[in-house]
Structure 1
Amino acid sequence: MVIKLIGNKIAEARKKMGMSQAQLAEQISISPQAVGKWERGESIPDMVTCCRLAEIFGVDLNYFTDYIDMPASSLGSVQENAPLPGTHIESIPVAPANRQNHFSGSNLPQSDFAGVIAHKSTFNGSALRGSDFSEADLTGSIFKVSDAREANFYKTNLTGCTFSILNLAAASFNESVLLRTEFSKCDMTGVKFSNLELQEVKFNVQELKGTEFHNCVFNAVRFKHCDLRGQCFDGQQFIDVSFDKTDLTDVTFRDATLKNITFIAPFALTNKYYKSIKTICFDGAKMDKLTYAKLKGWGADLANVTLITR
């Protein structure tokens, strides 16, 4: 499990430095119990804390996500050729589509990746804040434990990409290609998805209250263990979408189209779940008969809904 592996890395580096959990906790102003939870794989530090840990241990951010054992002699070493903060890359070569590119542990804020072809690239523990990936082809790439705040993914091909434990706050996905793309445990505050179709996309353990969706088509999308409270999906299309153990309190689907939608309650149908369904607004929505029957059975207000007969 990724969280456990990261915890092991923290414990290994702490012991190499000859520090106790209490001493490490004091340096980053948290409780020793929190450090213990990290090392046992019960929780994970956020991006800012990871940066602080890297400073204390004298390693780069890639150390926490490198699954290959790092030699003990490398602890405390400094990358000699690491890019300086704020470096702007004027030209990045276009790589062959079958070659893997590794940008893990890189310091590349506000970098220009526009138009590149970089299939199966890895961005683990990378600083990418404000970087421009517009019209790039990143098919099969992995973004993990990185800072990608305010990144621009305009018309970017993100087919088969994974975004995991990532800070994506205020990133933009306008007209992006999202096919079998997965978002898991990311900070998506202020992220904008607009003018695109999400196909077989997965949102796992995501808080999406502060995420914006405009003019989107959701096709075979799965929301699992997500927080969608207060989300606005007005006027958008949903086909074969699953809301699996997801909080839909106060969500609006005004004038939206819903076909073959699955709602899976957490553990069991409780009064709390019924109450949350009743808060959803479907005014002016269109839906198929089966979706209508499910929602009606749970007490949803469907007074202004139109049935789709074909």
Structure 2
Amino acid sequence: MDIKMIGNKIAKARKDKNMSQAQLAGLLFISPQAVGKWERGEAIPDIVTINKLAEILGVDLNYFSENFSSADNGTVFKATVDNNDNGMEQPVPEDVNLPTSPEERKLLTNFSGGDLSKSDFAGVIAHQRKFNGSALRGSDFAGADLTRSSFTGSDVREANFEGTNLTDCTLAANDLTGAIFHKTVLVRTVFSASSLAGAKFTNAELTDVTLTKTDLRRTVFENCIFKGVDFKYSDMRSVCLDGQTFISVKFDKTALNEATFNGSTLRNVSFRPTYALTNKYYRTMKTICFDGAMMDKLTYAELKGLGAELSKVTFI
């Protein structure tokens, strides 16, 4: 994810419109400092804000992708052929079709900036590929190996990631509403500033996954195992986490009002407050339900010290 590239494009489009950072910020109802951070590559807007930026700045949404070209012939796509004889980059025609035979299932294309809604990527091998600024709504990635690939600023609503290998993948500022993550391989996967409303994680094991500034209020988790996961600055208010397993998990400055952990297993789990330990924070902790949960003594002691209701908890 090249956030400096996105920042430079925001700055260029803003200047082309003869607009100051303060004027742009006013139209987005944010601070000028936030716009400055984007343009310096210190932060990245979420998918909703990217859509607003495109509208305000009068650019196509694909403008924010790495492979967008302002030439008259539109966006230019190139690909690196992994196994050619001379190791040189080869151009891919714009009308290239997805491979159909097993031997052709290994993708050779950078798919950034493409309109690929409802595309069939099932079973493909696509290591280190980029799906940035792309329309991927309803696309099927079932059983695909997308190791070290990136999705940034893309529309990935209702996409199917069943059995997909997302090891070391980055998913930032995407709309993942209604996406399916059934038995998905999630190892060191990073979700950042994305919407996961209605997304379903079922029978999945999340290992060393990071979810930063992510809205999880309407995300569904069923029969999942979380190992070394860091929920950082995420919104998990009222989320149901019943019956899940949490091992060495951090809820770092995460909003957990009204969340439920009924019947869950918690080992070495840390709950770091979103703000100072005030009476308001203690009242918030009391809204989290741990009925029937099992936990180790250290996790129990931390929660007890934060004022959580633990009368129906048992020790592991």
Task: Give the TM interval when normalised to the shorter protein.
Answer: 0.7 to 0.9
Alpha-carbon displacement from aligned partner over 1:158-216 (angstroms, at most 9, x marks no partner): 11111001111111101100111110000111111001111111101111101110110
Alpha-carbon displacement from aligned partner over 1:99-125 (angstroms, at most 9, x marks no partner): x74111111110000000011111111
- Alpha-carbon deviation of 1:305? 0.8
- Alpha-carbon deviation of 1:273? 1.8
Give the corresponding residue for 1:6: 6
The RMSD of aligned alpha carbons is: 3.0
**CA 1:13 to 1:35, structure 2 compared with 1: closer, same or farther past 3 Å?**
farther
1:79 matched to 2:74:
yes
Give the corresponding residue for 2:274: 266
Give the corresponding residue for 1:212: 220
Give the corresponding residue for 1:147: 155
CA contact (8 A) 1:90 1:112 kept: no
Give the corresponding residue for 1:91: 100
Alpha-carbon displacement from aligned partner over 1:242-261 (angstroms, at most 9, x marks no partner): 11011111111111111111
CA distance in 1, matches of 2:171, 2:179: 12
Q: How does 1:127-146 map to 2 (within 5 A)?
A: 127-146=135-154
**CA 1:160 to 1:238, structure 2 compared with 1: closer, same or farther past 3 Å?**
same
**CA 1:270 to 1:5, structure 2 compared with 1: closer, same or farther past 3 Å?**
farther
Give the corresponding residue for 2:210: 202
- Alpha-carbon deviation of 1:51? 5.1
- Alpha-carbon deviation of 1:270? 2.2
CA distance in 2, matches of 1:37, 1:255: 44
- Alpha-carbon deviation of 1:307? 0.8
- Alpha-carbon deviation of 1:272? 2.1
Amino acid at match of 1:104: S
CA contact (8 A) 1:4 1:40 kept: no
CA distance in 2, matches of 1:138, 1:247: 31
Give identity over the alignment, percent. 47
1:254 matched to 2:262:
yes
CA distance in 2, matches of 1:32, 1:239: 40
CA contact (8 A) 1:230 1:248 kept: yes
1:169 matched to 2:172:
no
Amino acid at match of 1:208: L
Q: How does 1:271-290 map to 2 (within 5 A)?
A: 271-290=279-298
Q: TM-score, with normalisation over the residues of structure 2?
A: 0.80
Alpha-carbon displacement from aligned partner over 1:58-97 (angstroms, at most 9, x marks no partner): x561x4243x9x8xxx536342778xxxx9957383227x
Amino acid at match of 1:94: R
Which of the numbers 39, 46, 49 marks the counterpart of 1:46? Answer: 49
For residue 198 of structure 1, give the secondary structure of its aligned residue in structure 2.
strand
Give the corresponding residue for 2:87: none
Aligned length: 286
Alpha-carbon displacement from aligned partner over 1:132-181 (angstroms, at most 9, x marks no partner): 00000001111101111110000001111110011111111011001111
CA distance in 1, matches of 2:51, 2:97: 22
